[in-house]
Structure formats: C-alpha cells, structure tokens
Structure 1
C-alpha cells in the first residue's frame, strides 16, 4: 500500500496505490489415517511488486518521485506500507520594461509566491507612469487579468517607444507666363499660372523633446510641364511654347516668363482661268493685316470677261468678299468660251418614174429623201467656227422598192434594189421603170398581196408607189415580196405557154 499525503498537514494528497501478490499450497489428507501433508507455497503470478511512479500534483513536489520495485516477496513477507509526502512549490515572476527606441531596460519588477497563488500585480500603473513621460505602449505579454505563480519561472516583457509628434512644413514654387502684344505691351491672353508644392515632416520626440526634419519632397511633381502658347487669330507668338522646366526644388525661386505677340500679314490671290484653253487669264494679288477686310469682289472682273464672250463656270471666292487670314488664301474663278450653235441640213433625193414604153406615165413616181444634218458651233470669244460630221436621219440608205403591178403589163424591173453608202456628197438619184403590154389572148391573173411585213426603221415613210386606179377594179396592186415574185414568174410561164400552143398546132397540120 502506498499512501500520498501533504507534508505540512498530513492530509491525503492522492488516492492510495494498492497491489496484492497471491501465494498457494496443496494440503493432502489420508482418508484412512487422517494424516495431513503440505506442499510448498508458490506465487500465483509474481513474487515482486513493480515500480510505482508518484502522481504529479500541480504546485507540489513529492519526496519520492517513485517507489522502487520490491522483489523477493514470499508467503511469509508481511504487508508493506509506504508513505509519499508532498511539499508546496514556490514560483517566481519577473516583468521587464524596455525602451524600444534606445534598447535600454527602464525597470524590472520581480515577484514570488506559492504555486497557484495570485501574483496580485498589474502593469497598468507602471505603464501609465511612462506614458505620462511621453512614452507609447508598443506591446505587453503580461496577462491583463493578472496571473498566478506556477512551478516554472515566468518572464514577461513590456515594450515602450518614444511618442512622436509630427508636423508638416509646406513650401511652394510658382510659375507665371505673361502673354502680351509686342507693339503695345497690353495683355494678349490670360496669364498661365502653375504651382509646385513641396513638403517635409518635423518630428518631435515627446520623451526627449528633440526635433528631426525630413527631406523636402515634391507633392506631385518636380517639373513644370511644357506650355503651348495660345493661338491668337492674326498674331504670331515669339515663343510657340514654353519648354518643360525640370529639376525644380524647394530652393528654386519663383519663375516668370513673357511671351510677345506680333501682328500677322495675310495674302489673297484670285486666279481667273480660261477653262476652254486651260490658260490663266489674269491673277489678282492682295495683302493686308490678318482680320482686315480685303475690300475686293470679283464682280467687275467677271463682267469684263463675259462682255468678251466668256461664260462663268464657277468661282470659290466669297460673293461678299473676305478677310485676310493667318494662312494664304487661294481662290479660282473659272470661265469658258461662250458658243452659238446652228444646225445645217442637206438632202439627197431618190425618184423612180413608172412609164409605159410609149413614154406615158404608168404610175405615180416613188420619192424618198435622206436628210443629213450637222451643227455649226461659233466661239463667241475667238469667232472660230467648228463643224460636226454630217449624220443621216435614216442611216444613209435607200430601201429596196418593188415595182407596182399593172394589169396586162410587165415591168422592165421588178424592183429597184436597196442603195447603201449614201453620203451628203451623193447626187440625187433618178430611176425609170418601163411597162410593156402583154400580148393579146394572154391572161395575167390578178395577184392578191399577202399581209405586208412591218417596215424597218430605215424604210422611208413615203409609200413605195401609189397604185394606178380605174373605174372598175384595182388593176395595180402593191408588191408583197417573194410571194409576188412567184406570181410574176408563173404569169410569164403562162404567157410563153399561150404563145407556144399555136405554133405546135401549125407544126402538127403540116406533118399531116
């Protein structure tokens, strides 16, 4: 049995440790004589008590960290009792206050007490004593709700730094650009102003009162940007731009620049062009101060040319005049030669006479005309005349004309062929068709015309011939093309047959 007790009071500190070893022997009894015999005692499991480690009690230390193994235990060994006593531990705590700026220890607080007893200490008062001197708390690992002593020594650190007061010091560098008229010095445009700001920090140590200064730094930039001079209509600046200014520091003095403007001189030219020949008729050159009126119009000059026969084509010069500008102005007035156009006509005629073999009129004459035209253009400036080519109104051809059919007569020409290649120089054309009497007894059957074909665009509008009329029937029929030709051929064959029949009869009689 192992007992665990507090040394100072004898009270139970932990549950007892109990262990038991068992031993056995055999008793044999003779059933006749009743005599008993005993065997040796033997351990049931083991004959030793194992080593026992003493319980760890927080805040206490045992006088025996363990009870060693006990061997050689026999059945005759008496029960064993051991007592382990526990003594109260003592703990320590230290808190070190450090100036983090200098690295020095400002103070150190040492505490001690029984394990698990409260330390009854906080850092609040000590920290306040330092913050009242200008320090600022950086960190503290000491528990806010105090702590208790433990078996192990406890070490805590409170870090403080010098409080700093920061102020900002400002400084500015200014740039001004003045815009003036050179001749008067008067203001030409609003001044250009720009400012570069510079700053530095003044730091005051609240513990020592010492001041430190940072370097001056530009708030946004350390250069003045390039500035293009304003464009003033009619004036030119002596500096088209004020270049970028770099390397400006807090020590740079304010900058002042003056840009002067001089009045511009403008030019205008007006060119009069003969668009017909491509030649320049004249040029008007004008000059004056920019913005001033030119006091010139093209009206009189254009009239002088139209009086000579020219016609205005175009003019880009403003009707109400214009003003001189910074840039040269170029204008063009275009004219062309006026013309008078006349038409000249000339005709070539075709006439076909239809007569009997005795010279008498057999049918109305056929007439056709080709009209040739050309234009005569007279230049009103030079008086020169130009002539176009002659052109025919129907393509320069006379259509084929079929001769009229007259009862009991045969025409010397069944048709007058088409005539092409007619020009304005072709002489008038005259043709005669003679009609011969068909012998008596020969009947020429009348020919009915087929439906006439639609005349082509080149056919003359004059009828091919007028039919010859009598009081009874229409003996003269207009020609209808190939069908009419066939009828005429059949008629001629019939005539030949009629003539041949009497000759055949006469020849037959002579033979009989």
Structure 2
C-alpha cells in the first residue's frame, strides 16, 4: 500500500480474513490497525502481519463425517468432508470362527465365534483436506485377545484338535481367522502335508482316516494342480500314486508334498521427462515448452506365487542419464535473466524434472532532444498523400534522427506537417520558413511509394522551424 504522508488508507484486513476463514483457516493474530493505517512514518516502510492457522476437526464413530457434505452447514461453499471419514472408515471388526465338523464334512456342532471391534478417529485439516488417523484401538488397547477354546468331546470320535489356542495379540490388520476342528472315528489316520519348498512354510495339511486295511480315495493331484495354477511347481510327492492303504494299526502315517515358487523373467522400464518452460515474471507462457525424456530399464525376476520382484540393475538407453543444457531462446520483445538451463543428471528413482527460464519485457527507447532548424527543408512525398491541416507552430520543434526507421520517419512527417505545406501530384516540396537567414534544401526519396502513404523515410536530418 502507498499513500501520501499523513494520509489514511482505506484498506482493512477483515474482508480478506473472512475469505480465508471460509476456506478453512482460523485467525491467529492481526496487528494491522483496526481503525486503519495512517502513513505517518516518514520514509519508513510500515509492515504488518496477519497470521492464520488451519482449522482442524475430528470425526469419530459417534460423530462421523459424510464425504462430500460441508463440514460447516452454515458455510455450504466451504470445506467438505473428504473420503475416509464415514463411520465404516472409522470402525472394523476382526473375528475368529471355529468350525466343528466330521471327516465327511458334516457339521458336528455350532460354530464358535469370537469378534473383536477396533475403532479410530480422524482429524481433518479443513484447508487442504488432509486426514490424520489415530491408531486402531480395541477399547483402550491397540490389540485384542482371542481366548483359548477347548474342543468339545464326542463319544466315539477323536478330534484333531483338543484345544484351539488363544491369541493375545490380535490387531486391526489381522484377517478373519477360520479354524476347523474335525472329528473322526477312532480308526487309522494319515496326514498329507503340503510344504512351500521355497520358504519352508507349511501350505496345508490333509488328515486322512479310514478303517484298518481300507483304501483311501484321496489323491494329491487336485491339490497340486490348484497350487500349480497359483504359480507353484511340484518338487516332490511321496504320497502313494495308487492310493493309501490304512495298514499301520494305531500309527498315523505322514506324507509330504513339496512345492516351490515358479518364476518369470520380465523387463521394467522407467521414463524420466524434463520440461523446460519459457515464462515471464507473472508465469505467462511465452513459447512452447521443450520436453525431453530419458528411459531406464532393468531385467527383473517375478515370483509367480507372491508377485515379489527381484530387481536387476538399472541401465539407461543411448541418451544416458543426463539432460543436456538448454540455452535460453530469443523471444521478440523480451530478454532473459539467465543464459539457459544447466545439465541435469537423473536416476531411475528421480521424479520428472521441470525447469523455468524467466524473461522480462524490453524497455522502450526514449526519444531524442529536438532543436530548431536554421534552414529551409525540402521533403519529397509520393502520390496521393493528403497534406495535414496547417497548424501555427511555436517553440522549438523536434529533430528527427538521420537514420530513423519507418516508425520514426512517420513521427518526423507528423512534425513537419505542422509547417505550411502544399502537396503536388507526384513530388511535393514543403518549404519550411524559419527565422534564420540561411536555407538548406533536402530531398528525401521513397523506395516504395505505395508504402509512403503510412511513412516517409528521410536520408538526411529533417529540421522543423519556429514560425
């Protein structure tokens, strides 16, 4: 703001503060005079500070948000609840279900279900919509607990689990758990275990039962095919190909199926671009952007089971990993403040590069100081030039530069038109009568008569007289 000494400014901060408040800010401090600014500090710039903070609001499961709706109903054009603030975003449940069944798949009793509920709150920044969540809590703790469950006893059957263990460290990130307790007749047993040969972990176990000396209909082929369809490769299978005979009285037999992770080779590429912008100080585009790209590639190995990628070494294409320097362009009417953009070296982890070359507008050339001519000046003009109206002249008229371009010649013509002149059909001579005794004649010839309707070029200095 500017003003004369001891004058008072009409500016107030209230309207601007109100605009920011509607956008989600809150006023922290304002040291601008409430009654207005008086410019009474002679030669000293007066500085005032208005501080605004981001308004924050917290949503809970009891008071959730509605995404897309205004946070403040009285400010319908203001900030709205972002996605992630609805009640379903602030609560979740994790459960463990124990299924009881016979070996033929029939239910052996009602499921036993334990459910844990986790809640959290979210704080919304009303200015930029940023969400900050608290940790998930089960009550006041970050973990919940599944209690141990003893397997119900059933006459004539033996359960494969006498007790399902508890879990004292259940988190909100855990998946729902299903535990199957299987009851079988007290007969022969066998177990088939599927092992991940890559990680050493057990994929699944299959418990087989049957009367002594009976044959089991179980085969491993279907399960192996299922794992193969998910990216595994069979390493070994010691289950009998002709089927299992329960002939180990009272002793459970164990069989092992080993499956390893299959892999695929793939190529990953990453392209980094550089954009060079040509703008003035206000950010206005003065020329089309220069856009260049560098490409990196690598050979990766993909685990067909987990999707994990073992990355190879990056290599660049023929363009290398460096964007060459870019000189500033010459733009009519502007001059640049820098010589150009320097070289930029990038890596595959680099983001796209943006460079801006700033320009400032050229300043106009000031006119030269005129002086009074002391001689008669003769100007040659083309056909069809309409003489200007005679105008009395006073004072010292301007001197026109001897090598002036078309625009300056036009200005000189306008000044000479103030002198009494008469235009002949093809070659007109304008005689300017001055107060000086000496006269000089000067002839200015035109190269393009048709263009002289707009400008007259002079090959010598054109001086105007005071009459």
Fold shared by both chains (TM-score > 0.5): no
Structure 2-normalised TM-score?
A: 0.25
TM-score calculated relative to the size of structure 1? 0.23
Pick 1 or 2: higher relative contact order, CA cutoff 8 A, min separation 6: 2
Choose between structure 1 and 2: higher strand proportion: 1
Larger radius of gyration: 1
